[in-house]
Structure 1
C-alpha cells in the first residue's frame, strides 16, 4: 500500500492488533508494513518512529472506555463503570502495562478519560487536589489488579511465539509446588480448588473497588 493511500488511523489500528498478539516487543515497522501491504518507509512517513507509534496506539485504546453521563448516573456507579472499563481495556491490550513503564503516554484519548474521571470525583464532592487523589487511588488499584492477568497473558503469548508453549503447564506446576511449601499459600490453594464461583479476577476487582469507594465515601462524610 503506497504511503499516500495509508492513513495514520490505519497504521495505529494495525499496530494495536499486532501488539495484541505479539506484545510490544513484537512491534516492528517491517512487520507492520507487511500487515498493511506497504513498505516500512511508508509507515515511518506517517508516524516518524516506533516510539511515537507506541504512544499513538496507547492513546487510541483509551477511547474504548465508556464515559457515563454524570448528570444522570450516581458518582459511585460512574466510578465503578469507568474502573471496570479501564480493567477490561488493559486485559484486551496487555502490552499497555509495559508501555507505561517505557513511554510517557499522552494524547486526546487519555486526556478525555482523565478529564471525565476527575468529573466523577468532583460530582462526589471532592474538590481541588482531593479529586485528583481520589481518582488516582482508584486508577492505581485497577492497574495493579489488571497487572497480574496482563502479565500472565504476556508471558504465555511470548512462549507461544517462541514455540515453547509446551512449557506453560510445567511452569505452572513448578510455581504450585513452590507455593505448597508454605502453609498459608497451601491453605488458600486448597480453597481455590473448591469450585467457588466467587474466586475469579472480576470478583477481586469488585471487592477491592467497592472497599476503596466505601473509604472515599466515609472520607466525604467526615468533618473537615
Structure 2
C-alpha cells in the first residue's frame, strides 16, 4: 500500500510481457511534397498579408517552412513567380462563344469578372499592369476577347486596340480601388482586404463639392450630386458603358 497520508496506491510494477515490448517510435507527420502549385498558393498568402512590395522568395519559403533554395527547383525568379500567380487567376476563367447580337453584354460580363479576379488578391492589379498577357497560357483569353470584337463587326484596327483599352481600364480602376483599400486598412490599423465604405466617402465628396463658391466652381456645384456614384460597382459599370458606346460607334450600319 502507499503512504497513508497520500491515500493513493502505488503504481504496480510493469508486467513481464510489457518489459519485452519495444518502445513505440514517434513518427513525424509526412510533409506535403513541395510543388509549383504550393509555392504559388503560399505566394498569394504572403501577398495578401504583406503586399507586393514585401513579397519575396524568402518570405514565400518561410511560409512553406523550407529553405529558399528549394523554391528555385520550381520557380526561376520572383518575376517568374508573379507570372505564375497572374496566370493562376485565369485557371477557371472562361469566355463565351462570340455572339454579335450580345457583344456588349459579353464584354461587360468579361470585364466584371476580370475586375473581381484582380480584387480577390491584394496588389494584383499592379502585377497585371506589369505583365504582358502574351504567354502561351494566356493567349487563348486574348484570342477569345478579340473574337468578340471582330464577330461584332468592329474594324480590325479598332478591334486590335479595344482589348488593350478594356484591360487598361480594368487594371487602372482596380489599382485605384486597391489604394483605397490600403488606406482604409491603415486607418483601421489592420491588414484586412475589406473594401472601404464607398457611401461614406461619396457623401463627404458630394458635400464638399456642393459647398464650393458658386461663382468660382459653378459646374462642380451643379454636378455635386452626380460626381460620385452610389457604389464603386456602379462607377465601374458607367465607365464601361462609355467605352462600349464609343466602340459601338465604329460598327457599320449599327447602333451608335
Q: Which has a greater percent of helix?
A: 1
Name the count of aligned residue pairs. 210
Distance of aligned partners of 1:189 and 1:42 in 2 relative to their CA distance in 1, 3 Å threshold: farther
Q: Secondary structure at the match of 1:78?
A: helix
Aligned to 2:38: 10
Matched ranges for 1:20-59 at <5 A: 20-59=48-87
Give, in whole Å, the separation in 2 of the partners of 1:158 and 1:26. Answer: 16
| Alignment of 1:211 onto 2:242 | yes
Which of 193, 200, 210 lines up with 2:231 in the alignment?
A: 200
Q: How far apart in 1 are the matches of 2:79 and 2:55?
A: 10
Q: Aligned ranges for residues 149-168 of structure 1 at < 5 Å?
A: 149-156=177-184
Q: Is the Cα contact below 8 Å between 2:51 and 2:123 reproduced in 1?
A: yes
Counterpart among 145, 164, 168 of residue 140 in structure 1: 168
How far residue 9 of structure 1 moved from its aligned partner, in angstroms, is: 1.6
CA distance in 2, matches of 1:146, 1:92: 11
| Cα deviation 1:131-188 (Å, max 9, x = unaligned) | 111222222222222221122224455677899xxxx9xxx99xx69x9488269859
Give the alignment of 1:56-67 within 5 angstroms.
56-67=84-95
Unaligned runs of 5+ in 1: none
- SS of the residue corresponding to residue 12 of structure 1 reads helix
| TM-score, scaled to structure 2 | 0.66
Offset at residue 55 of structure 1 (A) = 1.9
Change in CA separation of 1:209 and 1:148 when aligned onto 2, cut-off 3 Å: same
Q: Residue 113 of structure 2 corresponds to which residue in structure 1?
A: 85
Superposed counterparts of 1:116-135, under 5 Å: 116-135=144-163
Provide the rounded CA distance (Å) in 2 between the counterparts of 1:3 and 1:104. 36
* Alpha-carbon distance change, 162 to 29 in structure 1, aligned in 2, over 3 angstroms: farther
Kindly state the Cα deviation for residue 103 of structure 1 after the two structures are TM-superposed: 5.4
**Per-residue Cα deviation, 1:187-209 (whole angstroms, up to 9, x for no partner):** 599748xxx9x611110111121
TM-score, normalised via structure 1 length: 0.74
User: Following TM superposition, by how much is the alpha carbon of 1:34 offset from its aligned partner in structure 2, in angstroms?
Assistant: 2.5
Equivalent residues of 1:8, 1:46 under 8 A apart: yes
Q: C-alpha distance in 2, partners of 1:29/1:91?
A: 23
RMSD over aligned Cα atoms: 3.9
Shift of 1:81: 0.9
